[in-house]
Structure 1
Amino acid sequence: MQIIVLTCLVAVAVAAPQFEEPVVELLRDERVFNEDGTFSYAVEADNGIKTAVSGSIGAGGQINQEGSYTFILEDGTQALVSFVANENGFQPQSSLLPTPHPLPEHVFELLEIAERQRAAGIVFE
């Protein structure tokens, strides 16, 4: 009985999937940190990921940053995201980001009517 249990355990151990950790090699890693609080870094990996950021201390004591990062999409194209991060928050720009649908023409007409009513002193409660 012990041999059967031992044989089953060995079979399960041999049949278990073997995973290999992906290895990413850094092609570029440049970092500069200055005593005045400014900094910059640029990193590039062999899998197509790249980032470059520069930063400084803002007027309110926050860290302001601007930079970009790129990565490879599933279809093989390269995606680019540029950004600014400051007292106004994180502001990315990319063709990947969703955009709102354009407003229908009648909305602009309604906004004009509302503006004329406000100018004429008409108030709705």
Structure 2
Amino acid sequence: MVRVGEFFLARDDESALRVGPGSSHDFPAVPCDGIYPDDAAWKWEALLTGAESTPRDVVPMANDGFTVFAVPEQLCTALATAGRDRLRAAALAWAEAVSEPDDEISPDYAVDLVERVSALASSRADKHLDLYCWYFAP
């Protein structure tokens, strides 16, 4: 299970390399502990667009369990432009699809997370930043 992680905005891949467990940064960010965010991003994109692209690795997952990936542009656009009802429906469908006995994502957490990541995606163009995510899954 993922111990820690966050979606965040950064100028570029080089800037995104500075994040990770125990490092501090001043990028706008949304924590995403307790999930596999790459799987979540893939599912959100499928639910919101009907397509499935692969997140681009900035730091590929290695034996240490740490990775950083760039959120696909198509998902960023979908998150930024989807209405609240559509985001909520996607979040609830995602939570239901990935929840397993003893490893459940609450509907409230799912909706809150998707709405907060949507807000990041919406603000990225104004700030000339890209959306990334890092997580640590030992």
Q: Give yes or no for TM over 0.5.
A: no
With the shorter chain as reference, the TM-score category is under 0.3
TM-score of the superposed pair, with normalisation by structure 1: 0.21
Which of the two has greater strand per residue? Answer: 1
Higher relative contact order (CA 8 A, sep 6+): 2
Which of the two has greater helix per residue? Answer: 2
Larger Rg: 1
